[in-house]
């Protein structure tokens, strides 16, 4: 499993703690320092079953400056959203958990974290 991690984020810390307690192995991706490409973020959104505006932190200063809250939320506008999120990775909702089974979750709730643990094929003993 890979976690798109922001070390300053309490939800990311909670995800790491939950996975550590359950002895689920994971890799951290410092997505703020190593932003995804357009293709990577597009694939992650597909795995999440989400549209870009559903995973965008529109209250962040960069989003406010860009006026993203007023951007169209339609198929024709998806690339614009994705490109903005790649250019400003702080806009990407976190933590994103890329599961080894090909799925993905946003690990912001205890329920999502339990699902990630349950779907992990390789807990460490």
Superfamily of domain 2-119: Glutaredoxin (3.40.30.10)
> Which residues are identified as catalytic?
9
pLDDT in tens, 85-120: 999 999 999 999 999 999 999 999 999 999 999 998
The full set of domain ranges for the chain reads 2-119
- pLDDT at site 121: 82
- How far is Cα 2 from Cα 27, in angstroms, rounded to an integer? 5
Scored b (16 or more CB within 10 A) or e, 99-120 reads beeeebbbbbeeebbebbbeeb
CB within 8 Å of 1: residues ≥ 6 apart:
19, 24, 25, 26, 27, 97, 98, 99, 100, 116, 120
Distance of CA 103 to CAs 41, 44, 88, Å? 14, 9, 24
pTM over cut 0.85: yes
């Amino acid at each position: 499993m890979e976690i798109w991690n922001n070390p300053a984020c309490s939800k990311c810390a909670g995800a790491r703690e939950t996975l550590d307690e359950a002895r689920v192995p994971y890799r951290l991706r410092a997505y703020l320092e190593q932003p995804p490409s357009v293709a990577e973020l597009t694939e992650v959104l597909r795995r999440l079953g989400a549209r870009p505006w559903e995973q965008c932190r529109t209250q962040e200063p960069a989003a406010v400056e860009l006026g993203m809250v007023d951007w169209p939320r339609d198929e024709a506008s998806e690339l614009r959203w994705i490109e903005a999120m790649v250019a400003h990775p702080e806009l990407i909702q976190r933590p994103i958990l890329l599961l080894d089974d090909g799925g993905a979750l946003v690990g912001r709730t205890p329920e999502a974290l339990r699902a990630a643990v349950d779907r992990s094929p390789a807990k460490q003993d």
